């Protein structure tokens, strides 16, 4: 494949955009390469400016569960745009999307729309602090909840590949109020509650960790968080920005049978457009202005384009057979890849759930950040570059998740496995 136009665009971008990209992982530094610039996409395929075609397992980092340019989503956005791109005022579509969310996720009695997952988690944390009258929050090492100051303490996602455990510019006081536990380690949570229990406003967790690669929760871990947060009078926040409507129509909380006090959403509820949301029990959400005294606002919150895309996407996903299909397709792909990799004397740990998966190049079972860090990132980088040359687009970082879409079919799986084989030769 040739990448002349992408190289020219990247050089041009570096002159006017920090690092040449608008989100760090896109720079491909973690995989020792340079980014390809995308021209268009359809179904499960993306096409770069040089005309190269790829089977896409990034899916805009998760929201495109229906695939790129799904006709019902495109039509909904086209019709909405014809009526106006933004009002800064209420519209019918935001009520429709809110009703679908509250119907699907019983723990959400009221929901507030925002414009990103970061905004959702930031707002949920502010609300939790106000509701409890406490300042400290527990997060988990390697989990990523966006780039708000309170969360940039031992975070996941690009902060892992960049070798940064917290970002400069975060006030020391905020760092002191952010307590860090280890994912899947009940004892680390218990120790923090024993020392700071009366000061902890909330514990926030990705129910499936999706920003240090894919790490699944141990059977009792999430139930323990529900129990101990109740015991100490703090709130439990599920960050389902990735897992909400991705793992199941009612989110991962429906799978495990846990009702968090607050839930944050994003990705899929915007159908590929910028959107986020936070919601929970009525008594908590009624503290949000203008009903209550916790201020949060946004000109583009509930904007008609994102709302239309979200409603169209979720209406398609009401047919829950899609989730069965996605799980089967993901199982087929990962099983065949694991067999093939073993034929080349590579014995990776492949974590998967539903339509998400991650290939860790380590022979250890990966159930914690410590185990994540045993993965051979150089091996991942080498295979990533070879796959890219052959037409498969994986996340440009070992510490991100691959996503299957409803647009992938058996032919795409066959081609992916075949390309993997060539990349390993």
Residues 333-350 pLDDT 10s: 999 999 999 999 999 999
> If you average pLDDT over every residue of the chain, what do you get?
93
**pLDDT at residue 371 in the model:** 96
Residue 363's domain spans which residues?
Answer: 4-69+320-424
Same domain for 239 and 168, yes or no, is yes
Q: Could you confirm whether 267 is annotated as catalytic?
A: yes
Alpha-carbon radius of gyration of the chain? 21
Domain CATH for 187 = 3.40.640.10
pLDDT value, residue 163: 37
So what's the pLDDT on residue 389?
96
* pLDDT of 156 strictly over 90: no
Mean pLDDT is lowest, of 140-149, 258-267, 359-368, 406-415, for 140-149
Co-location of 384 and 342 in the same domain: yes
Total domains in the chain come to 2
Residue 25 is part of a domain; what is its CATH number?
A: 3.90.1150.10
Residues 252 and 381 in one domain: no
What pLDDT shows up at residue 161? 39
116 and 193 share a domain? yes
- 88, 27: one domain: no
- Of the candidates 3, 54, 57, 144, the residue annotated as catalytic is 144
Pair (8, 96) in one structural domain? no
pLDDT digits 0-9 by tens, 160-186: 434 344 556 666 766 788 899 999 999
Domain end call among 317, 339, 356: 317
Instruction: Among 281, 297, 317, give the residue marking a domain's end.
Output: 317
Please say if the pLDDT value at position 266 is more than 50.
yes
pLDDT, one tens digit per residue, over 346-371 is: 999 999 999 999 999 999 999 999 99
Of 267, 278, 393, 412, the catalytic one is: 267
Predicted confidence at residue 160, as pLDDT, reads 41
| Predicted pLDDT of residue 164 | 40
Domain boundary among 261, 283, 317: 317
Q: Are residues 215 and 267 in the same domain?
A: yes
Catalytic residue at 371? no
**Same domain as 367, residue 383:** yes
State the catalytic residue, choosing from 239, 261, 393, 412. Answer: 239
- 80-84, 140-144, 270-274: segment of lowest average pLDDT: 140-144
Is residue 321 scored above 60 in pLDDT? yes
Percent of the chain residues topping a pLDDT of 70 = 94
């Amino acid at each position: 494949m040739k990448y002349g136009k992408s190289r020219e665009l990247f050089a041009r971008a570096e002159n006017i955009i920090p690092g040449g990209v608008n989100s760090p992982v896109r720079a491909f530094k973690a995989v020792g390469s340079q980014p390809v610039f995308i021209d268009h996409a359809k179904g499960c395929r993306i096409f770069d400016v040089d005309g190269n075609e790829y089977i896409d397992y990034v899916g805009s980092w998760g929201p495109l569960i229906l695939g790129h340019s799904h006709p019902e989503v495109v039509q909904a956005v086209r019709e909405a745009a014809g009526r106006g791109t933004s009002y800064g005022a209420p519209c019918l579509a935001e009520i429709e999307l809110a009703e679908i969310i509250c119907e699907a996720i019983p723990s959400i009695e009221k929901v507030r729309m925002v414009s990103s997952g970061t905004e959702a988690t930031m707002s949920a944390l502010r609300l939790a602090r106000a509701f409890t009258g406490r300042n400290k929050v527990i997060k988990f090492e390697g989990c990523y909840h966006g780039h708000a100051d309170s969360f940039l303490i031992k975070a996941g996602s690009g902060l892992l590949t960049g070798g940064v455990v917290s970002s400069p510019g975060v006030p020391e006081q905020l760092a002191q109020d952010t307590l860090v536990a280890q994912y899947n380690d009940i004892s680390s949570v218990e120790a923090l509650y024993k020392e700071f229990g009366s000061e902890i406003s909330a514990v926030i967790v990705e129910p499936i960790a999706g920003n240090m690669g894919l790490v699944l929760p141990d059977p009792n871990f999430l139930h323990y968080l529900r129990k101990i947060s109740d015991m100490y009078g703090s709130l439990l926040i599920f960050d389902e920005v990735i897992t909400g409507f991705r793992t199941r129509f009612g989110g991962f909380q429906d799978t495990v049978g846990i009702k968090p006090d607050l839930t944050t959403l994003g990705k899929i509820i915007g159908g590929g457009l910028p959107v986020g949301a936070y919601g929970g029990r009525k008594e908590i959400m009624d503290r949000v202005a203008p009903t209550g005294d916790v201020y949060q606002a946004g000109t583009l919150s509930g904007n008609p384009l994102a709302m239309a895309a979200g409603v169209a996407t979720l209406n398609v996903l009401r047919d829950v057979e899609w989730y069965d299909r996605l799980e089967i397709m993901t199982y087929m792909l990962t099983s065949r890849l694991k067999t093939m990799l073993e034929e080349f004397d590579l014995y990776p740990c492949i974590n998967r759930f539903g339509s998400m998966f991650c290939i860790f190049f380590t022979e250890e079972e990966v159930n914690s950040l410590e185990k994540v860090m045993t993965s051979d990132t150089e091996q991942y980088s080498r295979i990533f570059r070879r796959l890219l040359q052959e037409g498969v687009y994986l996340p440009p970082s070992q510490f991100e998740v691959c996503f299957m879409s409803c647009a992938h079919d058996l032919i795409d799986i066959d081609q992916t496995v075949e390309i993997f084989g060539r990349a390993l030769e």
